[in-house]
């Protein structure tokens, strides 16, 4: 017999995928609102882009559980090797709090925006995501650039991740349906 804990590993990881700057974060924010409207508890982190004079200069950070926001949470780092982004101390602190296992354990959905090159190198939110997957039973949605999905799938293959294109109401509805099915299954298990 398979325990509820073992079977719950399957289909609880979502790769919210799309090209760079295609609206993944905006759609994840819309998903958070819809999920709350359906009575689901939502936690995690959104990182909307911050622009100055039409130039991307960094990213803000929004704790989806508390609504706290840091602006900017990261900023462009210019080096001889090229650009990239570096977390501010406030951004790192807010992100760690937003993804802390003890505070999001009761959530139905945890959104992690974004799981990218830093995390694939073991940096950024990687440790937090590893702990979320290992120590909770919640649905974890990783916002991932299209070109990185296969690497992230290999990394977390044991969790049966499901790729969903991060565009339109159909994508949001697919996640909401998944949450409804999990809620129904949990209620059935509670009855037995």
Give 82-107 pLDDT, tens digit per residue: 456 778 888 889 999 999 999 999 99
User: Residues 105, 112: contact at Cβ < 8 Å?
Assistant: no
DSSP designation for 192: -
* Listed residue (10, 26, 31) closest to 160, CA to CA: 10
Backbone angles phi, psi at 85, to 5 degrees: -125, 145
Average pLDDT, the chain: 86
Least trusted range by pLDDT, from 3-7, 10-14, 20-24: 3-7
DSSP designation for 91: H
d(CA 140, CA 15): 9
The confidence band for 113, taking pLDDT boundaries of 50, 70 and 90, is: very high
Please state which CATH number belongs to domain 14-191.
3.40.50.300
Q: In the predicted model, is pLDDT for residue 1 greater than 80?
A: no
Largest CA distance in the chain: 62
Q: Does this model's pTM top 0.85? A: yes
Residue 86 corresponds to which tokens in the numbers above?
A: 């570096």
Rg (CA), the chain: 16
Question: What does the pLDDT average to over 143-152?
Answer: 93
Backbone angles phi, psi at 27, to 5 degrees: -65, -35
pLDDT at 168: 63
Q: Which residues make beta-bridge pairs with 144?
A: 17
The more confident residue out of 90 and 40 is: 40
Give the percent of the chain with pLDDT over 70: 85
pLDDT at 131: 96
Residue 63 corresponds to which tokens in the numbers above?
A: 């704790």
pLDDT at 5: 40
Distances (CA, A) of 183 to 3, 143, 177: 17, 23, 10
């Amino acid at each position: 017999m398979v325990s509820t804990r073992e079977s719950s590993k399957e289909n609880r990881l979502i790769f919210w995928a799309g090209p760079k700057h295609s609206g993944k974060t905006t759609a994840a924010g819309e998903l958070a609102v819809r999920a709350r409207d359906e009575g689901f508890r939502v936690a995690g982190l959104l990182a909307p882009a911050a622009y100055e004079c039409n130039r991307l200069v960094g990213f803000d950070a929004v704790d989806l559980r508390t609504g706290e926001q840091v602006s900017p949470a990261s900023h462009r780092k210019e080096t001889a090797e090229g650009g990239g982004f570096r977390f501010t101390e406030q951004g790192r602190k807010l992100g760690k709090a937003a993804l802390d296992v003890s505070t999001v354990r009761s959530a139905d959905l945890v959104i992690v925006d974004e799981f990218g090159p830093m995390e694939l190198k073991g940096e950024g939110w990687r440790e937090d995501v590893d702990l979320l997957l290992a120590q909770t039973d919640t649905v974890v949605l990783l916002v991932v650039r299209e070109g990185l999905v296969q690497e992230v799938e290999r990394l977390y293959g044991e969790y049966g991740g499901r790729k969903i294109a991060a565009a339109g109401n159909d994508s949001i509805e697919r996640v909401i349906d998944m949450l409804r099915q999990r809620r129904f299954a949990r209620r059935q298990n509670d009855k037995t």
